[in-house]
Amino acid sequence: MKDTLKAIFYSISAIAFIIFLVIFYLSEENKRHTYKIRTQYLEKVNNYLSELPFLINDTENIINFKNDLNESKKNKIKRKFWELIENKRIVKQ
């Protein structure tokens, strides 16, 4: 008997909590408050953006491109692993 009363009480409490939560979330007061907070935040962001200093771009011709592909291919170490694979292919054929 006590267990069923506990279960009923818990389920009624959970349902009431969900109903009150939905009513508050969908209320006009909450919507107005949310809109007010968002506009205040947007005004703050716009103020901060207007106060930011404008920096001059001084990064022209900073990077020098070097094509070292041929040198890196020459300096590449040949691994024994690839020789083993090639030998295995030759044996299978």
Residue 91, pLDDT score: 59
Every domain of the chain and the residues it spans: 2-51
Which DSSP category does 27 fall into? S
Below-50 pLDDT ranges, the chain: none
User: Is the Cβ–Cβ distance between 9 and 15 less than 8 Å?
Assistant: no
Residue 88, pLDDT score: 64
Which DSSP category does 54 fall into? P
The pTM of this model reads 0.46
Residue 58, pLDDT score: 80
Residue 1, pLDDT score: 85
Element (H, E) at 75: none
The answer for residues whose C-beta is within 8 angstroms of residue 24's C-beta and 6 or more apart is 30
Residue 89, pLDDT score: 61
Residue 68, pLDDT score: 76
